[in-house]
Chains A and B, each alone.
Chain A
Amino acid sequence: MNIFKLSWSYTKAKPLNTTLNITLFAFGIAIIIVLLLFSKQAEQKLNDNAEGIDLVIGAKGSPLQLILCNIFHVDFPTGNIPLKEAESIIKNRFVKNAIPLALGDSYRGYRIVGSTHEYTALYEVKVAQGALWSNELEATVGATAAKNLNLSIGDEFASQHGLSEDGYAHDEAAFTVVGILEPSNTVIDNLILTNVQSVWKVHESHDEEEEEHVEHDSTTHTVVESNLIPGVHLEEEETREVTSLLIQYRSPMAAVQFPRYVNANSNLQAASPAFETARLFSLIGIGIDVIRGFAYVIIFIAALSIFIALYNSLKERKYDLAIMRSMGGAKGKLFLSIIIEGAIITCMGCGVGLLLGHFTIEIINNFVPESDQSGITGKVLMVEEIWVLAASITLGVLASIIPAVGVFRTDVSRTLSQG
C-alpha cells in the first residue's frame, strides 16, 4: 500500500464517475489538439506554398480567388490574360522574375499546369524518375498525383477540360508522362506539369489548322522572342493567353508601388499572397476561435466535474479521512492523496485526449481525400501541445485542491464520535 495505490483505489471505486470525467477531459483536449494540428500545419503549408512568390498577376476578379487558384490550386481561375500584356508588364524594373501559369485542364481531378521549369525550381522539387518536360504534350507528374492516378513514365492520358472530373475530354491530344517528381510536401505534389505551349495546343488545335495557312503566307514581320516563355515567338497579332504570372520583386520597395501600378494601369489584377493568406486566415480564424473556445469550455466543465466529484466524495469520505487520521495518517499525506486522485483523472484524460486528437486527424486523412492532399498529418507532435497538456493538468490539480483542503478541516474526534 502506498499513496498512489490509495488514490488509484478511490478512482477505481467509482468507475462511472471516473469514466465521465476522463471522457470530458479527453474530448476537450482532443478538440484542441485537432484544431492545433490542423491550423498550424495548414498555416505552415500555405506559407510554404507561397514562399518566394511576392505577387500574383491575373485577370480581374477576387484577389483571394486569384491566390487560391494560382498558388494553392484549389479555386477556379479568374480568367485569362493576354500574353502581350503579360510580356509588357514584366518589363517593369521592379520585376526580378516572372513565371507564367496556364491553367484550365485536369486529368481525373488533378490539375494540369502549363509553366516553365522555373516553377519546379521555385519549390526546389527534384525529379525522382525520368525528366522534366521539354516538348509539347510531355508531362511531368507530382508525387501524390502519380501515386493516386497510377501514372508511370511512358503512360499516355487525355486531359479533360475544366477542373472537375466530368469535363469534356480532349481526346485528340494525349499527354505522355516523361517524369515523376519527388515528394516535396508542397502543392506541386498534386499537379501535372507541362509547358505552356501544350495547354495552348490542346485548346487551340481546331483553330490553329486554319490559322496556320495564313501564317505561312505572311512571314515578313520580325521575330520577337518571348521573355516569359522560352521558345515562344511573339506574333504581331498575338492572341494567345496565360492564366497568371507569379512575380518575384527586385526590391522590397516594389511591394508598395508595383501592385498599385498593375491595378491602375492595366486590365490586370495584382494580389499579394502574404496579404491574401493573412486575410483568409482571419476569416477561417473566427471559426477556429469559436471551436477552440468551445473546447476550452469543455475542459473547464471537466475540471468542474472533477471538483464536484471530489467534493461530493469527500463528504462521503469524511469518515475515511477521520479513520485514516486516527490510524496515524498525517494531514499532508492525505491531502496529497486527494490531489493525486485529481491528477490521475486529469492525466488519463490528457493522455486519452492526445491520442484521440492525433487519431482523429489520421482517420480524417484516410476517409477524406482532399484532406490527404492537403498533407496534414497526425503523426507529428507540436510544442504547443505540451503547453495545452501542462495547462490542463494544472487546471485539474487546482480543481482538486479545494476539496483536498477539507482534510485540514476534518475534526477527527467529532467525526468519529458522531457514529
Chain B
Amino acid sequence: MIAIKNLTYSYDSSNPMAFPDWSLAAKEHCLILGNSGCGKTTLLHLLGGLLSPKSGEISLAGTQIEKLKGSSIDHFRSKHIGFIFQKAHLINALTVEENLYLAQYLAGIKKNKQRVSEVLESLDMIEKRKSKVYELSQGQAQRVTIARAVLNGPKVILADEPTSSLDDENTSRVIDTLLQQADLNGASLIIATHDQRLKEQIPNQFKL
C-alpha cells in the first residue's frame, strides 16, 4: 500500500535528511514516532505530496507519487489522501457542511449531500451542520477536520500531532474516533507524533 525506498529530502543543500525504507499494508495503521525536529512532519508531507523528495521513491496505492507534477499531485491527493493537522484549519467563512462541500468541490467530486450527512452522522456532528465553524468547540472542530479528511474515501489518512494539546481522556477519544473512521472508510491511518500515550492503541510503529 505504502512504501518508501532510499528517500531523502533537504530544506537546504547542506542538511540532507535520509529516511529508512519502510512499508505498510492496506488498511493497516501505524505511528511515526520520533523527537521534535527529526523529520516526522516532513515525512508526512512527503507521503502526502505536499513536498517533493530530493531522491528516492514513494509508492502510494500503486502510484509513484514523486513522479506526479503540478496539479496532478493535487488531484491525486484530493482523491486518495486525507490530512489532519495539529490545528483544525477549517475555513471560517463557511459553515460546517460547506467546509465539507468545499472538500468535494476542490477534489472535483460532484456535490454529494448524502455522503456529507453520513460522515457527519458517524462523527455525531449532524446537528452542527449549519453552524459557523468559529462557533464550534475545539473538540467539535477537530471532529469536523476528521470528517473532512475521510469524506472523499481516501486510502490513507495522514494525521500530524492530532493529540499533542489534549488531555488523556480526550486523547484516547480522538484516537478511538480516528481508528473507527479509518476502519469505517477502509483507510490506513498514519499518525506522526511524539505522544507516547498512543502506543497502546496503535502497536505498529515506525521510529525515526
Give residues in A with beta carbon < 8 Å to B: 1-3, 5-6, 9-10, 12-13, 319-320, 322-333, 412-413, 416-417, 419
Q: Which residue of A lies closest to B52 (CB)?
A: A413
**B50→A413 contact, CB < 8 A:** yes
Q: Which residue of B lies closest to A12 (CB)?
A: B93
In the complex, which range does the number of interface residues on chain B fall in? 20 to 34
Interface Cβ pair total, 8 Å cutoff:
80
Q: Which residue of B lies closest to A416 (CB)?
A: B85
| Residue B103 interfacial (CB < 8 Å) | yes
**Which residues of B from 129 to 150 have beta carbons under 8 Å from A?**
148
- Most central of B41, B93, B107 by chain A CB within 10 Å: B93
Leading 5 A-B pairs by shortest Cβ distance: A328-B78, A13-B93, A1-B101, A329-B106, A1-B105
Return A203 CB to nearest CB of chain B, in Å: 77
Q: B45's contact among A10, A332, A417, by CB below 8 Å, is which?
A: A417
**A328→B91 contact, CB < 8 A:** no
Q: Which residue of B lies closest to A320 (CB)?
A: B91
Q: A323's contact among B51, B89, B111, by CB below 8 Å, is which?
A: B89
Give residues in B with beta carbon < 8 Å to A: 41-42, 45, 48, 50-51, 71, 74-75, 77-79, 83, 85-87, 89-94, 98, 101-108, 111, 148, 160
- State the CA gap A333–B108 with chains docked (Å): 11
Q: B104's contact among A1, A5, A320, A412, by CB below 8 Å, is which?
A: A1
Q: B106's contact among A319, A327, A417, A419, by CB below 8 Å, is which?
A: A327
- State the CA gap A416–B111 with chains docked (Å): 26
Beyond known contacts A1-B105, A417-B45: 11 more, CB 8 A cutoff:
A6-B94, A12-B93, A13-B92, A13-B93, A324-B106, A326-B83, A327-B107, A330-B71, A416-B45, A416-B50, A416-B85
Dominant SS at the A interface?
A: helix
A and B contact pairs by CB, cutoff 8 A, 12 listed: A9-B98, A319-B87, A320-B89, A322-B89, A324-B91, A327-B83, A327-B102, A328-B79, A330-B71, A330-B75, A416-B160, A419-B87
- State the CA gap A6–B89 with chains docked (Å): 16
Return B152 CB to nearest CB of chain A, in Å: 9
Known contacts A2-B105, A419-B86; decide if A325 and B74 are in contact (CB<8 Å). Answer: yes
**A326→B77 contact, CB < 8 A:** yes
**B91→A326 contact, CB < 8 A:** no
Which residues of chain B are near A325, meaning CB under 8 Å?
74
